[in-house]
A and B are shown apart, each in its own frame.
Chain A
């Protein structure tokens, strides 16, 4: 739909598991983002990548590890998560990574449940 795909769409994992979320954008954008959306909380920005370089880490715990091998792909590696990490994880991309008006295009999200 929007040119941003996320896999898997649903994920259930135990606290000792290691898993990865994948995001791919087909829009030729230069910036990519990870957000966390929990029930009854505002959308929280986690990480920002501009031209493959991480430019923002919003005090995210180290059990979340992002990776951006190129401008089209973004991963979020998960290990030893806590039940409170259960949420909808949204990936987004935007055309420009530098100053200027920029709208973000979101993927459908991965619904993560940590048991």
Chain B
């Protein structure tokens, strides 16, 4: 079963509104990361939150992490048309052989002008 699952699978909002998406996972993690993917392109790293952190900000992005519920949320404030993309959470488990990320299925966000 996949480690990270995003909710909702798709989200449509008007420019200027906030977009919130959630990620749930099953096993313990070292950190959780959010990535963005524009259609048919590679993923771009947005933000990393460590397992001992509860909230983190980067520009218009706000990420929360609740390890007791094994969940995270990504909030994009004052959305723009350029924010239209798929957003993925990825959980990191450190292994002796190196870092490993497990990605969720993603949330497709459409920001209408």
A residues apposed to B, CB below 8 Å: 2, 4, 31, 41-43, 45, 48, 50, 55-56, 88, 90, 92, 94, 96-109, 111
Contact = CB atoms under 8 A, between A and B. Distances in A.
B106 A101 contact: no
B41 A109 contact: yes
A106 B50 contact: no
Q: How large is the interface on B (under 10, 10 to 19, 20 to 34, 35 or more residues)?
A: 20 to 34
B42 A101 contact: no
B113 interface: no
Contacts of B106: 42
Contacts of B45: 103-105
A42 B103 contact: yes
Nearest to B102: A45
A56 B4 CA distance: 20
B104 A42 contact: yes
